[in-house]
Amino acid sequence: MHKYIFRRLLLLIPVLLGVTFIVFTIMSFTPGDPAQLMLGESAPPEAVEQLRAEMGLDDPFIVQYLRFVGNAIKGDFGRSYTTKREVFSEIFARFPNTLILAAVGVAIAVAIGIPVGIISATRQYSLIDSISMIGALLGVSMPNFWLGLMLILVFSVGLGWLPFAGFESAKSIILPAITLGTGAAAIITRMTRSSMLEVIRQDYIRTARAKGVSEKKVVNKHALKNALIPVITVVGLQFGYLLGGAVLTETVFSWPGVGRLLVEAIRQKDTPTVLASVVFMATTFSFVNLLVDILYAYVDPRIKSQYSK
């Protein structure tokens, strides 16, 4: 198993190289001269020329990319055009906020999605099933930034119960986490339900019933563990999407995370920060996926034995 994890970590290297290459290439299409942007419109051409040489902007594209990767490994993503601060430390300072938000969002999604999915599946076509399925359908159909604004409208503007901007206390996280988690909760509910319905029809469930296992245990012990296998993948994917979705949610709630940093950077055409933020989030996403795959192997003995061979 350790070997498998090690191999997966090694495999992550080309993926991350590919990710940085794609993002670096995309960002290189940004119009305008970075040196000019850094020095401002009124800078003398000689100064711009000098900075260009210093930054290596005249080097071939691939050299620039390799230099970027080389520096990135050392934790150096350059300096922001606007604040002139180190991009990496800017991101690192905000990253925990984004991670907390996404983690609480996923926790809410899992805490709602899995139980509701199970109840729906075990009472297929009942009233409770219909209600939760309609709820889930609305959940996947709602744009999360709109949901965030509606929550603010009701709970902050209307009722005055909860704060709607910034990250001051634990209370501040409630609305943004609900905003972020709702879509994922809906998807997890649907996935759990359909997976459960599929599993409950399997022969081994009939075997369990034929052994005299109680219906409660049939569901919670025999069916659930099998049904959760595909759900785990979805949860992992959702965590990644939440990191992306955090961009919008953080904007709505003025949440001091990487997502909002990214949006600000885009507005100010601060390419190094945009590049670094996207690379950072994609890297996190890749690590989450790796964790999910490892977890997968622990839950499903078939996969585990496949890898320990």
Partner 1 sequence: MSKKELLKIEDLSIYYITEDGTVKAVNGIDIKLNKGETLGLVGETGAGKTTTALGIMRLIPNPPGKIMSGKIEFEGKDLLNIPEEEMRMIRGNKISMIFQDPMTSLNPVMTVGEQIAEVIEIHQDLNKQEAMKKAEEMLELVGIPAARVNDYPHQFSGGMKQRVVIAISLACNPQLLIADEPTTALDVTIQAQVLDLMNNLKEEFNTAMILITHDLGVVSEVCDKVAIMYAGEIVEAASLKQLFENPRHPYTLGLFGSIPNLDEEVDRLKPITGLMPDPTNLPTGCKFHPRCPYGTDICAKQEPKAIEIEDGHKVKCLIYEGLVDAEVKR
Partner 2 sequence: MTSNVAKGTMTVEKKKNKKRSQWAEVWRRLKKNKMAMLGLAILTILVLTAIFADFIADYDNVVIKQDLVNKLQGPSAEHPFGTDEFGRDIFARMIHGARVSLRVGILAVGISIIIGGTLGAIAGYYGGKLDNVIMRVMDIFLAIPSILLAIAIVSALGPSLMNLMIAIGISSVPSYARIVRSSVLSIRDQEFIEAAKAIGANDLRIILKHIIPNALAPVIVQGTLGVAGAILSTAGLSFIGLGIQPPAPEWGAMLATGRPYLRYAWHVTTFPGLAIMITILALNLVGDGLRDALDPRLKQ
**Residue ranges binding partner 2 (CB under 8 A):** 14-16, 18-19, 22-23, 26-31, 137-138, 140-143, 145-146, 149-150, 152-153, 157, 194, 240-241, 243-245, 247-248, 251-252, 262-263, 266-267, 274, 278, 281-282, 285-286, 289
- Find which of partner 2, partner 1, none residue 1 binds, CB within 5 to 8 Å per kind: none
- Find which of partner 1, partner 2, none residue 286 binds, CB within 5 to 8 Å per kind: partner 2
- Find which of partner 1, partner 2, none residue 308 binds, CB within 5 to 8 Å per kind: none
Q: How many CA atoms lie within 13 A of 272 on its CB side?
A: 27
Q: CB-wise, 229 or 290, nearer to partner 1? A: 229
Residues 237, 131 contacting (CB under 8 angstroms) = no
CB of 289 to partner 2, least distance (A): 8
Q: What is the DSSP annotation of the chain?
A: -HHHHHHHHHHHHHHHHHHHHHHHHHHHT--S-HHHHHH-TTS-HHHHHHHHHHHTTTS-HHHHHHHHHHHHHTT---B-TTT-SBHHHHHHHHHHHHHHHHHHHHHHHHHHHHHHHHHHHHTTTSHHHHHHHHHHHHHHHS-HHHHHHHHIIIIIIIS--S--SS--SGGGGHHHHHHHHHHHHHHHHHHHHHHHHHHHTSHHHHHHHHTT--HHHIIIIIIHHHHHHHHHHHHHHHHHHHHHHHHHHHHHTT--SHHHHHHHHHHTT-HHHHHHHHHHHHHHHHHHHHHHHHHHHHH-HHHHHHHH-
CB of 220 to partner 1, least distance (A): 13
CB of 72 to partner 2, least distance (A): 16
Q: CB-wise, 63 or 128, nearer to partner 1? A: 128
Q: CB-wise, 67 or 225, nearer to partner 1? A: 225
CB of 229 to partner 1, least distance (A): 8
Q: CB-wise, 5 or 15, nearer to partner 2? A: 15
Assign residue 198 a region: left if phi > 0, alpha if psi is -120 to 50, beta otherwise? alpha
Q: Give the distance, in angstroms, between the CA of residue 210 and the centroid of all CA atoms in the same chain.
A: 43
Q: CB-wise, 201 or 221, nearer to partner 2? A: 201
Cα diameter, the chain: 86
Q: CB-wise, 223 or 234, nearer to partner 1? A: 223
As a whole number of angstroms, the distance between CA 238 and CA 114 comes to 14
- Find which of partner 1, partner 2, none residue 165 binds, CB within 5 to 8 Å per kind: none
CB of 172 to partner 1, least distance (A): 40
Q: CB-wise, 162 or 205, nearer to partner 1? A: 205
CB of 47 to partner 2, least distance (A): 26
- Find which of partner 2, partner 1, none residue 19 binds, CB within 5 to 8 Å per kind: partner 2
Residues binding partner 1 (CB under 8 A): 202-204, 206-214, 222, 225-226, 229, 299-302, 305
- Find which of partner 1, partner 2, none residue 203 binds, CB within 5 to 8 Å per kind: partner 1
Q: CB-wise, 43 or 263, nearer to partner 2? A: 263
